[in-house]
Amino acid sequence: MNISTTALNPLAQGAESTLVSRVAAHIQARFADESSGHDWHHIERVWKLARQIAKEEGADQEVVELAALVHDIADWKFHGGVDSVGPREAERLLRQEGASEDVVDHVVDIVATISFKGAGVRREMRTLDGECVQDADRLDAIGAIGIARCFAYGGHAGRLMYDPDVPPVMHATAEAYKAAKGTSLNHFYEKLFLLKDRMNTRTGRALADERHRFMEEFVARFLREWGGEP
């Protein structure tokens, strides 16, 4: 698989390998064949969005790019619900590639804080850099791509697409959210519809509006068609 944009792959122009490009190459190879919606293309989109938001908001570009690249390096959903695996794997890779202590600490903190953990759970990002990455990740969870990823993950996890007898649950704790086995459509109410109002930055909020409206239109049509309406 090739990264098509030379801006994403400075080595394509013979530039000296950078920390960001080395980490990107590692992540690209590691997640090329992932099929749950947490693949290299998801990571690449988050990387691009995070760079855009960071530029608009005046954040640290290197920290933002590195955190975007490693934010899903070991998601708790694929590691028995254990939150510590992702930060540990991110730290290992960054140290392996020669990142400074300050950069490692900052990126690892972002990875540890980025995930949504339930409607009733709030854990605020501590830095603007982290806010940019979190907004980018949340943007890729909504809109057309977000819809596709929701159902891709639901199929991967063996969840029903929809069951009108199973209502959404607004989980009050991270433990309840992790243990949930609801349907894919319920996930819109339990998480995706909440993300627009949880964007951290002005840029993130502006980008979220249209994607949120698209999801609302999709779910309304889904329910009409599910009920047999033309």
Please report whether residue 50 resides in a domain: yes
3-class secondary-structure state, position 142: coil
Can you give the pLDDT at residue 77? 62
Domain of residue 178: give its range: 18-226
CA dihedral 52, 55, 57, 62 (to 10 degrees): 100
26, two tokens: 């590692």
What's the structural domain count of the chain? 1
């009108």: which residue's tokens?
164
- The total of other beta-carbon atoms located within 10 Å of residue 202's CB is 12
Q: What is the full DSSP assignment across 151-213?
A: HHHHHHTT--S--TTS-----SSHHHHHH----HHHHHHHTGGGSGGG--SHHHHHHHHHHHH
115, two tokens: 């995930």
- The total of other beta-carbon atoms located within 10 Å of residue 29's CB is 11
Domain with residue 190: its CATH number is: 1.10.3210.50
Can you give the pLDDT at residue 8? 45
Alpha-carbon distance values, 62 to 9, 99, 102, 165 (Å): 15, 10, 12, 47
Please report whether residue 176 resides in a domain: yes
Please report whether residue 2 resides in a domain: no
Please report whether residue 8 resides in a domain: no
């980008």: which residue's tokens?
207
pLDDT along the chain (230 residues), means of 10: 40 57 94 83 96 97 96 68 79 94 95 87 89 97 96 92 95 84 94 96 97 98 92
Phi, psi angle pair for 51, to nearest 5°? -65, -45
76, two tokens: 């708790």
20, two tokens: 């960001």
Please report whether residue 12 resides in a domain: no
Amino acid at 72: D
Determine the Cα–Cα distance for residues 9 and 48; give it in Å rounded to an integer.
12
Note whether 72 and 78 are within 8 A (CB): no
37: left (phi over 0), alpha (psi -120 to 50) or beta: left
119, two tokens: 């409607």
Query: In this structure, what DSSP letter does residue 18 have?
Result: -
Determine the Cα–Cα distance for residues 228 and 230; give it in Å rounded to an integer.
6
Please report whether residue 5 resides in a domain: no
Please report whether residue 9 resides in a domain: no
Please report whether residue 6 resides in a domain: no
Can you give the pLDDT at residue 12? 39
